[in-house]
A and B are shown apart, each in its own frame.
Chain A
Amino acid sequence: MGQKRTFQATEQLIPNKDYSDKKKALKTPIDGIRENDERFFSYVSKIIISEDQKGKIIDAMKKETTSRMNHDEGLCEDVTRKINKAVNTFNEQVAEMKKQRISVTYEDHNME
């Protein structure tokens, strides 16, 4: 019987991998939404002939249209930024998860 010894170490259990391609998978529907929004507003922009036409109702609709466009565009930009952050975090956390503290116990027969 040898002597039992135990040591502790941090071990890379699984090799690391880059998950950045997840950004593309997540951004694709958002790019599609952005394209939908552009198409949506392209229909609206052709209704009033000549930009300099004025009137209470027209001005109100123009204001609302601009505000909607900015809101929708801003929303897509926010989501895109958040996707980048989420995938970076995912990469970091998975890398972290793959490294764990371990205790290894072995018997040393050299001691006999």
Chain B
Amino acid sequence: MAKGILDYELMAMRLTNKEYENMTADKLKSTIQQIYLEETGSLLDADIKIFHSSDTEDSLINQTGYNGTAIYIDDGNQEEMYVISQGTTNGPDWSFNAKGPLAGESIDQPQATDLFVEQAKNKLGVDEDAKVISWGHSLGHHNNAEAYLGYGTFDEVYGMNGAQVNAYQLFDMNIDFQKAVIEKFKVRNDADLRQRVSADELEVFTKEFFKDESKNIHQIISSDDPLNGLTPFVPGMVELGQIEVVDTNPDVSGIKELAKDIPPEVIKDVQDLALIYAKADNAGGTKEVAKQLFGVNMDYLKDVNSFGSFLSWYTFNQGEFDETVKALNKSVPPLLDKVRVVLDNKDLIFGRLQETGYISLKEKDTMIEELELIESHLSTIEDGLNANSSLSGVQFLQDISTVAFGGSLVWIKSSLTSSIECMKESGFFESLNKIVASHSIPELLAAMSKGNKSYFGTDMVYTATNGDPIKVNISAALRMYRETLPILEEKETKIRNFEKAVKEELDDSYKDEKRKVQDEIDRMESSPGSYRDLLAKHGHLPAFNKEMKTIKVHEVFYPLENNDFDEEIHELKKSVESGKLYIEKYRKAIEDLFDEEDNVSRLFDFSRRF
């Protein structure tokens, strides 16, 4: 990476992962300063301004699901803007994954990225000459690279385990590229291009066309990243830029090895099923998966628990039945096709996953068993749909396949959920998490240890150089040193509040109650005539012929007890003071674990200066 103010690979990776936390502007600023300090050992002396995509009211940006943050930074010598685009986090992102990078049909998010950058420049007052650098993970990199190649949004693009650009999208976005493609392949439009030109040819041409721009795209990719492994199988998807490949999980042979020998169309179907599952599971768990897979309103089936109740539902709720059949007609055949393709290649797919160490034999067997069960029920539903389209009324009720069709509908409602739960319980999905983890930035960071410095999540870890090789989370230590002092200050305020509460709620309040009693005593003693009811109350009847002369109250007031919190308040105050000493002691203990040249002491000193 060319050296800009924040242009450090590890800093980019750590901040890009932090972007997912959607921090407040102030929190992000201090995070930038701390990461800068840890990575460079120096203080970042610069003006920083932040603009997040949630701050824009532009519906074009918001509707696409795009999320990102623009960081303007000016250190007096140069000004730059960094744009961090988030990867997949929400429903619209999942939809865009399918329509954009994979199908090459939608350009919504790259357009939103460009629009957001324009707005951020205006909002933050960024000079036209200022360099704009993008950082992105996964879908975030895709959006950045597309916006760069399509609209010239950025000067530099830095991607981490990024989804690659798709030539079909670029054909829609970049007029020069479009013209060149049309001229080269003699095609009329997008549809013609897809029909007449092989994806491989288009990909080669795309790489050549964007040869110069590619110099400004830098990527770091894990050889175990599943997204990276699938790139060759997506039509139109092109890997561009200077690419650094890192083996982040040496225990397994890598995703490319896993995918080798599996036909591209099979990979595509597995990928589609995974996307459908991931999108539905993300929307609301196992039940939602059933609902989204079949497009069926599950509420209609709430009383359908047996064949009898199915017939009753069919008879009395024809509207619901028709709507359900229509949804199944639409959803089942394509889903079944994909399940069948996966099952036809079950030994290759699940066998390879097992051989390469990603899943166990038991997980493999459970997956095949449950998928076969799902396939058999889906086949019955499909047969039922075919047969019943020509039947009605009594004919329908007499038809033998109706029995199986009803049974399979009951299965959708209950047993499908159990099948998915069985797959989950087998540990298959957890095992696949190993693959998913290889898509993450922390696994990339973990593979980039240098000397006694390594990473834990996005935190920096130092291994002690004095004595035992203890691993110290130096980021956490600096946060402790910097952020616990304000906590102790807050605690001091709360102790003062408590002192005030003791005074007001006990001491003053008791005096107040005493004053009210004293006032009443004064009233009684000065106007006894007003208290004639006391005669009747205390049995001096009849009262009409008696005249009140005096009332004397023999008042007794005791001082309030158990209201002395002096000792406890003193102890609380002492704990604040000893807390401050404890922080210093902890700092010293950590410093003692390291040699002077590790500069740990300087890091602590600097950490309180931003």
Contact = CB atoms under 8 A, between A and B. Distances in A.
Interface of A: 2, 4-5, 7, 9, 11, 13-14, 19, 22, 25-26, 28-30, 32-33, 36-37, 39-40, 43-44, 46-50, 53-58, 60-61, 64, 68, 71-72, 75, 78-79, 82, 85-87, 89-90, 93-94, 96-98, 100-110
B124 interface: no
B538 interface: yes
8 contacts: A14-B517, A33-B495, A36-B487, A49-B456, A103-B550, A104-B528, A104-B534, A106-B549
Contacts of A110: 542, 545-546
Chain B interface secondary structure, helix, strand, loop or mixed?
Answer: helix
B572 interface: yes
Contacts of A9: 534, 538
A64 B582 contact: yes
Contact of B549 (A28, A57, A107): A107
B454 to A, nearest CB: 9
A103 B551 contact: yes
B292 to A, nearest CB: 38
B185 interface: no
Q: Which of A82, A90, A109 has the most CB of B within 10 A?
A: A90
A39 B487 contact: yes
A69 B528 CA distance: 61
B538 A61 contact: no
Interface residues of B, number: 76
Given A4-B549, A93-B560, A33 B572 contact: yes
Given A64-B582, A82-B568, A104-B535, A25 B505 contact: yes
Contact of B461 (A7, A14, A49, A86): A49
Contacts of B506: 22, 26, 86-87, 90
Contacts, number: 208
Interface string B557-569: 1101111010010
Contacts of B476: 43, 46-47
A45 B562 CA distance: 37
Chain A interface secondary structure, helix, strand, loop or mixed?
Answer: helix
A85 B106 CA distance: 68
A103 B551 CA distance: 6
Contacts of B562: 82, 85-86, 89-90
A71 B579 CA distance: 12
Contacts of A106: 535, 540, 546-549
A90 B487 CA distance: 33
B554 A79 contact: no
B498 A30 contact: yes
Interface in B562-585: 562-563, 565, 568, 571-572, 575, 578-579, 582, 585
Contacts of A103: 550-552, 554
